[in-house]
Every structure is written in structure tokens, then in C-alpha cells.
Amino acid sequence: MGPSFQASREAFKSAKRCIPGGVNSPVRGFGSVGGTPLFIERGKGSRIWDIDGNEYIDYVGSWGPLILGHADPGVLKAMRETLKQGTSFGAPTEIETRLAQAICRALPSVKRVRMVSSGTEATMSAIRLARAATGRDRVLKFDGCYHGHSDGLLVGAGSGVATLGIPGSPGIPAAMTELTVQAPYNNLEAVAAAFASWPGEIACIIVEPVAGNMGCILPRPGFLKGLRALCDAEGALLIFDEVMTGFRVAAGSAQGLYGVRPDLTCLGKVVGGGMPAAAYGGRNDLMRRVAPAGDVYQAGTLSGNPVAMAAGLATLERLEAPGVYERLGARAQALAQGLQTLAEEIGVELTTTSVGGMFGFSFHPGPIDCFTQAQENHEARFRRFFSRMIEGGVNLAPSAYETGFVSLAHTQADIGRTLEVARKGLEAAARVR
């Protein structure tokens, strides 16, 4: 007899009466995998428990921020100490500066940084700054890369947009989307052609250095360096959207791992330690344009919220310990390779990837280098596999287009148990034609 989800079903019915679709972010609705969303009661370390009492090894981790695991004692202590002083002031606090200093120390490309409350805020603000600095309007993004839900960036987006099969979104003026230039990920020739088609008009390229919203797709050798060279030659800025990869794949984030220095960097998830916090930063000459130092306006009532800053700072300080990223990488690699080996034994087409604390898999023979190939994933097999993993006590993202996350709380035993459940899930998937 499998687990019961009756309490979650009742909670979902109640939520749908007052929340659109019953959820506050679309992918959570389980629309692409079927069934009822899990309503979570608590988490600890590598585990979560739903309101029915079912326990899961969790590879969602609040979609990436919880690199230390759920309810990390050090993070909770830092938050409690900050809460004693108050929740929010709408005024400067010293902890904002301390987190900003930690980011600047870790990322040589970031000389100044502005705190915001979400990754969407970070990317839209960085693009506004790039347009102001260059005097140009067009933005080049890559098919399948997701940079938040602001106007202009939902064109060809991955993540929930791809999961739900939405081509963009009603309510966005055509005049906004016309300023967005698209190119396939990992295709430098298409980028060069775009610059040739709109000479002197493209303000910036925004890119996920590791594409984490159409699975987990790594940049081809030379791709990121090629983008840097094209931007330099064309007078455009290069923006790395490291909301997902920032402090997740390496101590110096993806830009340090791949040796490419962007002009502007967007951060989120890990820098908030599980609280709503994000940031954008970059070169001194660019960041001096941001108000009140300069003329590019951006503001936020809860930007630099002290409780969120405390959680983020406690997280980044823990990540400075020796061997942290080696352990994360080893766990993610063991999981990805284990899934690959099982699939080969069972005879089901699967391709897996991992980098730092991120991993991905697709029911596709591979390789996968771009969104078009990612869309060839066998979705029916993914749905069957996902449901078997949930039934076996393993929580994965309810979408074939999302990355999985390993935390420092995951153990070798967790990986081993996950692969035991995955064997049954892959056998079930293999029976789907």
C-alpha cells in the first residue's frame, strides 16, 4: 500500500478557492506531472515531511537556496538573533554591508552590489542599467533560459513557462517583446548573426552560464568566452544570471568556474539562505549609475531586509570552509552517474549532467546542448518516473525542465537510498512507450 496524500488533497482544494490555481508559483501546481501538490509541514537537513506525515529525501531545496539543508542550525541562530532587534526598518543596517562585502570578496567582477528581494528584480534592474549605460534598447537572451517574469524576458523562457507550455504571457505589450532578440543556447554563430542584424542596437546579452531552467545544460567549451569576446567587439554588456549558479556550483560561482568575467551579475537563492533576497552588481563605473549615486532608478521597501541578510551571510560564511564544493560536487556527480548507470542496465534512454551542487536528467539519448533538444524529453516517461520517486519517498522538481539540487546535508546513504528508489522508477518508465 502506497503513501496517503489525503491531507494534501484537502489542503489543495481549500487553496484553490482563494489562490489562483491553488499555488503561489505555477510549477508547484503539479500540472505537468499530475496528482496533488505536496503541502509541506517541515524540513530538517536533507528531508522534508508533508502534512500527511510522509517523509522525503528532498532534491528541490526550495528551488536551490538551501545549500546547507533545511533548518540549518547556524542559519536559524543568525535569524533569531536578528529578529530580536526587529524585522524591517526601511533604513540602512550594517548587516547589508557585511553581506555585500562577502559577495564582492568572492566575485572579482563585482565591485559594488545592490540588494533586492527577488531574482526577477535583479535581472530586470541589471537590464535597465545596461540599457542606460549603452544607450541601446535591444536585449539578447537564449531560448529556454529563464530570467524571471518581467516583461520582455518571458520570450522563449524555460522553467514554468516551458513546463506549462505557455509561449510567453498575455498582458505583455508586443512593443516590449520586439526588443528581445533570441538565439539558441550554446550557438555563437547565431549570436554573431544577431549582432549583424541589429548593428549598434543590442545593449546586452543575458545568459544563465549553466542553463538550469531547461534541465541542467552545461555551456560548450568556449561558449561563454565567445560571448565575452562578441560583447567586447560590439560594445554590448555581458550579464550573467547567476541566480541559480551563484555560490552553488563553485566558490567563485559559474564565472569563477569557467574563467569568464561578466560586466554585471545577478544573484539570488543561495545569497538569501532560504529567505527572499537577491542582488545585482558589477563594475564600478556601471554601478555608480544606480540611484542615489547615479541616475538609473531602482528601489525596494524590503531590499536589504535584515533577517534575510542574516540568513544569507550565515550561509556564505559556512560555504567558505575548505572542501565544501568538493563534497557538493561529489554527491551530485554520484547521483547523476548512478542514474546513468541504472538507465543503461535497464535499457531506457537517459542523459544526466551535474556541476557543483546541481544535477539534471532527461529521458533523451543525449547530448543536450539547447532548448530544442531539451524539448525532446520523453515527458510520459518523466511523469511515470516522478510519481514512482514520490511514492518511494524522494522529492524531485515536478517538471522535466528543472534542475535538481544537492545540499551539504545530503549523505552517501541518501544518495544510495535515492538510487534504490530510482531503479524501480526507471523500470516503470522503461515500460512507457
pLDDT in tens, 283-300: 999 999 999 999 999 999
- What pLDDT was estimated at residue 173? 82
Given this model, what pLDDT does residue 165 score?
52
Domains annotated on the chain, with CATH: 6-67+322-430 (3.90.1150.10), 73-318 (3.40.640.10)
Q: Which is catalytic among the residues 146, 185, 258, 325?
A: 146
Residue with cell 545592490: 114
Per residue in 264-278, pLDDT (tens digit) is: 999 999 999 999 999
Write down the mean pLDDT value for the chain: 95
β-strand pairing of 47-50 with 40-44: antiparallel
> What's the pLDDT band for 161 if we cut at 50, 70, 90?
low
> β-strands 351-355, 358-362: how paired?
antiparallel
Residue 162: predicted pLDDT:
56
Q: What's the rounded mean pLDDT across residues 164-179?
A: 73
User: Catalytic: which of 58, 72, 143, 241?
Assistant: 241
Q: What does the pLDDT average to over 30-48?
A: 95
In this predicted structure, what is the pLDDT of residue 176?
81
User: Residue 321 above 80 pLDDT?
Assistant: yes
The residue behind cell 507550455 is 165
Percent of the chain with pLDDT over 90: 91
User: Which of the pair, 381 or 162, is modelled with greater confidence?
Assistant: 381
pLDDT band at 157; cut points 50, 70, 90: low
pLDDT at 160 over 70: no
Looking at residue 169, its pLDDT comes to 66
Range in 30-34, 231-235, 251-255, 297-301 with the lowest mean pLDDT: 30-34
Selected catalytic residue, list 258, 269, 280, 369: 269
Q: Tell me the average pLDDT across 58-73.
A: 98
Q: How confident is the model at residue 168 (pLDDT cuts 50, 70, 90)?
A: low
160 versus 76: which is more confidently predicted?
A: 76
Closest CA to 351 of 217, 258, 161, 163: 217
Average pLDDT over residues 196-224: 97
At 152, the pLDDT band (50, 70, 90 cuts) reads: confident
Peptide bond into 292 cis (omega under 30): yes
Q: Which residues of 4-18 are buried (b: 16+ CB within 10 A; e: fewer)?
A: ebebbeebbeebeee
User: 84-131 pLDDT, tens per residue?
Assistant: 999 999 999 999 999 999 999 999 999 999 999 999 999 999 999 999
What is the pLDDT, as a whole number, of residue 31? 87
CB contact at 8 A, 133 and 289: yes
Tell me whether residue 269 is one of the annotated catalytic residues: yes
Percent of the chain at pLDDT above 70? 97
pLDDT at residue 158, as a whole number: 53
pLDDT tens sequence across 41-62: 999 999 999 999 999 999 999 9
Rounded to an integer, what distance in angstroms lies between the CA atom of residue 27 and that of residue 21?
Answer: 10
Average pLDDT of the segment spanning 65-94: 98
